[in-house]
Chains A and B, each alone.
Chain A
């Protein structure tokens, strides 16, 4: 079954305490990305990755880091979380090959930074 998994699903943390949200896909997709969703603002892209060791900034990368050491994993790192990073985070993977396009999202991670 095609799947994107994220962990944890819920996290409450304090300002400044480093955290990592993991994302893993089982479809061998090359493209992965992270989004945050905030009320009234829709979804905004944080970072994306076109393949292993290839990452680039999206619209709101400040305060976040990513890495892509393996094709299946794309963790999101908050080195020093702040309350304005309280949000709902989604990871996604996608494939575009031979005219076929597919995209799957993880279930979301609700992060609260106090």
Chain B
């Protein structure tokens, strides 16, 4: 069975600090997809990234970066120079081979608070 663990329930940082959100996953599939989502205080869900299990290159998008390490079954998310608008709950998720969110398992989320 798939499992995603986000051990950090809550993180609080001061604006402009870098912050890393941890995600550890378990799966028996050799082909799988990993995702990150953002849920701001307004409640909507926003898709951030999808990464397949064959692509271990780090990805950067503006202030966001993702570090995928198969050896440790981790897919960590770093926000550089955090801003108050980054305050949200962030979810990591895992899906099996087709990666279409056909069967998606979420972590319990990390509440990030960025203080001014």
Closest to A41 in B: B108
- The complex places the Cα of A107 from the Cα of B105 at a distance, in Å, of 20
**For A50, what are the chain B residues with a Cβ–Cβ distance below 8 Å?**
100, 102
Is the pair A101, B50 in contact by a Cβ cutoff of 8 Å? yes
The answer to the question of A31 belonging to the interface, with a C-beta cut-off of 8 Å to chain B, is yes
- Count the A-B residue pairs with Cβ separation under 8 angstroms: how many? 63
In the complex formed, the residue of B with least CB distance to A103 is B47
A92 to chain B, nearest CB (A): 7
Q: How far apart sit A88 and B89, CA to CA, in the bound complex (Å)?
A: 15
A82 within 8 A of B: no
B45 & A31 in contact (Cβ 8 Å cutoff) = no
Main secondary structure of the interface of A (DSSP, over half): strand
**Nearest-Cβ distance from residue A43 to partner chain B, whole angstroms:** 4
Complex CA gap A50/B46 in Å reads 21
C-alpha gap A1/B100 in the complex (Å):
21
Q: What size tier do the contact residues of chain A reach? A: 20 to 34
Q: How far is the CA of A45 from the CA of B93 in the complex (A)?
A: 11
On whether A48 and B101 interact (CB within 8 A), knowing A43-B91, A101-B50, A102-B47, the answer reads yes
User: 9 nearest interchain CB pairs?
Assistant: A105-B45, A42-B108, A103-B47, A43-B106, A42-B106, A31-B100, A101-B50, A96-B100, A94-B101
A contacts, CB < 8 Å to B: 30-31, 33, 35, 40-45, 48, 50, 56, 58-59, 88, 90, 92, 94-96, 101-105, 107-108
Query: Contact residues of B with A, CB < 8 Å?
Result: 43-47, 50, 91, 93, 98-109
